[in-house]
Structure 1
Amino acid sequence: MQTPYPFVPDGKLAYIRQIDIDTLPDDIRSQIPGGVEVWGVHSDDGECIALTQDRPTAFFVAREHDLEPVSAH
């Protein structure tokens, strides 16, 4: 997932993408109400560091942790 963004210092980029609920562990999936979208905040090495229920919140969470969010598809 590493895309160069020269204006962002190393380790400060966050990729935001929608998560397929079926790929989540059972203990997490069991806490998600039916019909809810799940969005992930991922570090620049691809590790999922946060889950949110919508895209704007994912961007907010990234910025609150001094990360520069970008969309990933």
Structure 2
Amino acid sequence: MEGKITYERKLPPLTTEQFAHLGDGAIAYVRTMRSEDVTRLYPQAPPIQPGITLFALLGADGSPIVLADTEEGARANAWEHQLQTVSLH
């Protein structure tokens, strides 16, 4: 378009610490995991039969919140704690 001026605002990049805390306390995501991998995120979890698919609700920074046997259960827990779930691709 003739005569149109566009301005682009440059923001400074986030530091590693700022990026890690982005969405803290407000955003979470659900991740599918195998029962064999549960103890890595949830060391206090009791032994679980191998080969089971589970759903972990994780905070924006990757910290574990809850483990559920269904995706709906994990999302319901997010809703109960007023967390917005986002999809990661």
CA RMSD, aligned part only?
2.8
Greater Cα radius of gyration, structure 1 or 2: 2
Matched residue SS, 2:25: coil
State the AA in 2 paired with 1:48: P
Q: Which blocks of at least 5 consecutive residues in structure 2 are unaligned?
A: 1-19
| Residue in structure 2 matched with residue 17 of structure 1 by the alignment | 31
Instruction: Please report the TM-score for the alignment, with normalisation by the length of structure 1.
Output: 0.69
Question: What corresponds to 2:45 in structure 1?
Answer: 28
* Aligned equivalents of 1:38, 1:51: Cα separation in 2: 7
TM-score normalised over the length of structure 2: 0.59
Bigger relative CO (Cα 8 Å, ≥ 6 apart)? 1
Unpaired runs of 5+ residues, structure 1, are none
Residue aligned with 1:51, SS: strand
51, 68, 73: which one pairs with 1:52?
68
Aligned to 2:80: 64
State the identity %: 29
Q: Residue 17 of structure 1: CA displacement?
A: 1.0
| Greater share of residues in strand | 1
How many positions carry a matched residue from both structures?
67
